[in-house]
């Protein structure tokens, strides 16, 4: 009798802690809504479209940051995708076994480097480099700005996309590839007509997942984007992202509405990354169904 009571207690304990995880997520969403309420009430939907960010006049709009985040993230994705794909193919189909291990470890290392160290390297290496490029191109040589931020984001998200791509490519059935080789196809033709089409949706999921990472990335971006609260004026212009404006101004937010506006930006960021992650999940779920269909 006593033992089955202990069993019940243990079951309730684990369930309660499971509920804690659920409560953290739900409570987090509710907390963000409550804290941003003054801003939601004051600005309504215009918060999303307004480009004013004026702490003195207590007028706030998120558009510059939404644009900044989306622009840098998509640019980073554009830059990272071919390299992730190439690395994914190389690590599964091209590299000899020893090299595979070494490079696999290096890609993991790339993912393990803390964001703030990317930022440090960005400030002291990438920014001067971009400044030279800007001088050559005859644009104002800030060094910092959207382009630098995208560049560093591209390096940071590459390992995430690569690890997913690598996994889906390694799941392509061997007999499919061997069938194509047996017909006299070259390695590239096998990649082009068998491997990549088969792994297509998985590769897409990996890219979407990497996008989710880029959207929420804070420190490295904050350190090289220039932190200017105005809407993006050009590829090299300094601007701000949603994450970086929160990082920069949260401890300085003096008025209630100011703080609430920053939290509302956090809420928008939360919702956007949520949607992106759901999209990635839907793609991978569908992938699973497809593969069951194959076998």
Partner 1 sequence: MNKNLPRRLGKDRAATLVVFLLAIIPMVPLFLILLQLVMKGATSLNLQFLTSLPRPPGETGGGVLNAIAGSVILVTLASVMAVPTGILAGIYLAEYRDKILPHAIRVAADLLQGTPSIVIGILAYAWVVRPMHHFSALAGSGALAIIMLPVIVRTTEEVLVLVPKDLREAALALGVPRWRMILKVVLPTGMVGVTTGVLLSMARVAGETAPLLFTAFGNPFLSWKPTEPIDAMPLVIFNYATSPYPHWWRQAWSASLLLIAMVVLLNIAARLMARKIGGR
Partner 2 sequence: MEEILKTRGLKAYYGEQEILRGIDMTIPRNRVTAIMGPSGCGKTTLIRCFNRMHEATPGARIEGKIWLEGKDLMSMNPIQVRRMVGMVFQKPNPFPTMSIYENVLAGYRLNGIKLKRQEEQRIVEEALKKAGLWDEVKDSLRRRGTFLSGGQQQRLCIARALAVNPRLLLMDEPTSALDPKATRRVEELIGHLKETVTVVVVTHNVAQAGRVADYTAFLYWGELIEFGPTSRLFTTPQDPRTEEYLTGKFG
Interface with partner 2 by CB under 8 A: which residues?
1, 3-4
Beta bridge partners of 53: 60
Q: Please, which residue, 2 or 292, has the CB nearer to partner 2?
A: 2
Determine the Cα–Cα distance for residues 106 and 159; give it in Å rounded to an integer: 9
275 binds, among partner 1, partner 2, none (CB under 5 to 8 A by kind): none
Alpha-carbon Rg of the chain, whole angstroms?
23
Residue 13 within binding range of partner 1, rule CB under 8 A: yes
Residue 130 within binding range of partner 1, rule CB under 8 A: no
Q: Please, which residue, 15 or 233, has the CB nearer to partner 2?
A: 15
Q: Kind and range of the H or E element at 131?
A: helix 127-137
Q: Are 225 and 4 in contact (CB under 8 A)?
A: no
For partner 1, the binding residue among 187, 200, 233, 256 (CB under 8 A) is 187
125 binds, among partner 1, partner 2, none (CB under 5 to 8 A by kind): partner 1
Q: Are 51 and 63 in contact (CB under 8 A)?
A: yes
Determine the Cα–Cα distance for residues 206 and 168; give it in Å rounded to an integer: 9
Residue 223 within binding range of partner 1, rule CB under 8 A: yes
Q: Please, which residue, 3 or 14, has the CB nearer to partner 2?
A: 3
Residue 266 within binding range of partner 1, rule CB under 8 A: yes
Determine the Cα–Cα distance for residues 38 and 50; give it in Å rounded to an integer: 16
Determine the Cα–Cα distance for residues 256 and 278; give it in Å rounded to an integer: 32
Binding mask 68-107 for partner 1 (x = CB under 8 A): --------------xx-xxx-xxx--xx-------x--xx
């Amino acid at each position: 009798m006593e033992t089955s009571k202990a069993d019940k207690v243990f079951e309730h304990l684990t369930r309660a802690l499971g509920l804690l995880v659920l409560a953290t997520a739900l409570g987090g969403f509710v907390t963000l809504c409550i804290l941003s309420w003054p801003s939601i009430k004051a600005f309504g939907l215009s918060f999303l479209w307004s480009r004013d960010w004026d702490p003195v006049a207590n007028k706030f709009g998120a558009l510059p940051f939404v644009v900044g985040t989306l622009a840098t993230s998509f640019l980073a994705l554009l830059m990272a995708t071919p390299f992730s794909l190439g690395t994914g193919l190389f690590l599964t189909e091209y590299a000899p076994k020893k090299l595979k291990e070494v490079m696999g470890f290096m890609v993991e290392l790339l993912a393990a480097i803390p964001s703030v160290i990317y930022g440090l390297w960005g400030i002291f290496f990438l920014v001067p480099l971009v400044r030279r490029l800007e001088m050559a191109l005859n644009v104002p040589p800030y060094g910092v700005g959207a382009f630098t931020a995208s560049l560093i984001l591209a390096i940071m998200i590459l390992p995430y996309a690569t690890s997913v791509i690598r996994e889906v490519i390694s799941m392509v059935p061997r007999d499919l590839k061997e069938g194509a080789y047996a017909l006299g196809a070259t390695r590239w033709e096998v990649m082009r007509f068998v491997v990549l089409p088969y792994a297509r949706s998985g590769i897409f999921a990996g890219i979407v997942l990497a996008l989710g990472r880029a959207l929420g990335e804070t420190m490295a971006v904050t350190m090289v984007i220039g932190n200017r609260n105005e809407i993006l004026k050009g590829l090299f212009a300094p601007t701000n992202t949603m994450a970086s404006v929160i990082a920069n101004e949260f401890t300085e937010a003096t008025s209630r509405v100011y703080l609430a506006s920053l939290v509302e930006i956090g809420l928008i960021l939360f919702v956007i990354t949520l949607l992106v992650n759901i999209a990635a999940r839907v793609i991978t779920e569908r992938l699973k169904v497809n593969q069951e269909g194959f076998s």
